[in-house]
Amino acid sequence: MLNGSCLCGGVTFTVSGPVPGPSVCHCSQCRKQSGHLWSSSHVPDADLTITGDSLRWYKSSDLAARGFCGTCGSFLFWRKAGEGHTSFAMGAIDGPSGVTLAKHIFTADKGDYYTIDDGLPQS
Ligand SMILES: [Zn+2]
Ligand SMILES: [Zn+2]
């Protein structure tokens, strides 16, 4: 079981069940919303419990929505319509997560101001 929260504590969540190795997303939407990169893992919706009135969803495309705290702005969740899974921000996990980064995604969209040199798979 993992616990997570936004910066102000207005949104909290718990994750049960196995947590896949997180990815680091380099797409321009994640970079804009997070300020740099966004690392997340994902679980079936049934394994994620979210509480907090300040949670807001921004529909970033016809297919996907991005969940964030309307009070402090923390970017917490990403969800694709009809997929039945929700991605949650690794940076929002409180305490040790027990997982290790697995891969980089959307690296074709990465910014030109950094390099990826940790040897993990890139796509
Ligand atoms: Zn907050
Ligand atoms: Zn992204």
CA of 51 to the centre of ligand 2 (A): 24
CA of 32 to the centre of ligand 2 (A): 9
**Nearest ligand by distance to the CA of 28:** 2
| pLDDT computed for residue 78 by the predictor | 98
**Nearest ligand by distance to the CA of 9:** 1
Domain boundaries, the chain: 2-109
Question: Which residues, 6 or more positions from 96, have their beta carbon under 8 angstroms from its beta carbon?
Answer: none
Question: Where do we find the tokens 């947590």?
Answer: 19
Q: How many CB atoms lie within 10 A of CB 10?
A: 17
Question: Where do we find the tokens 């921004």?
Answer: 58
Tokens of 57: 């969803």
The arithmetic mean of pLDDT across residues 22-50, rounded, is 97
Percent of the chain with pLDDT over 90: 99
**Nearest ligand by distance to the CA of 8:** 1
| pLDDT computed for residue 72 by the predictor | 98
CA of 88 to the centre of ligand 2 (A): 12
CA of 28 to the centre of ligand 2 (A): 7
Check: CB of residue 94 under 8 Å from CB of residue 3.
Answer: yes
Say whether domain 2-109 belongs to CATH 3.40.50.1980. Answer: no
Where does the pLDDT of residue 46 fall: very low under 50, low under 70, confident under 90, or very high at 90 and above? very high
Tens of pLDDT, residue by residue over 96-119, are: 999 999 999 999 999 999 999 999
Tens of pLDDT, residue by residue over 50-83, are: 999 999 999 999 999 999 999 999 999 999 999 9
Q: Distance between CA atoms of 1 and 17, rounded to whole angstroms?
A: 7
CA of 70 to the centre of ligand 2 (A): 20
Where does the pLDDT of residue 91 fall: very low under 50, low under 70, confident under 90, or very high at 90 and above? very high
Where does the pLDDT of residue 9 fall: very low under 50, low under 70, confident under 90, or very high at 90 and above? very high
CA of 114 to the centre of ligand 2 (A): 16
Check: CB of residue 89 under 8 Å from CB of residue 76.
Answer: yes
Chain centroid to CA 21 = 12
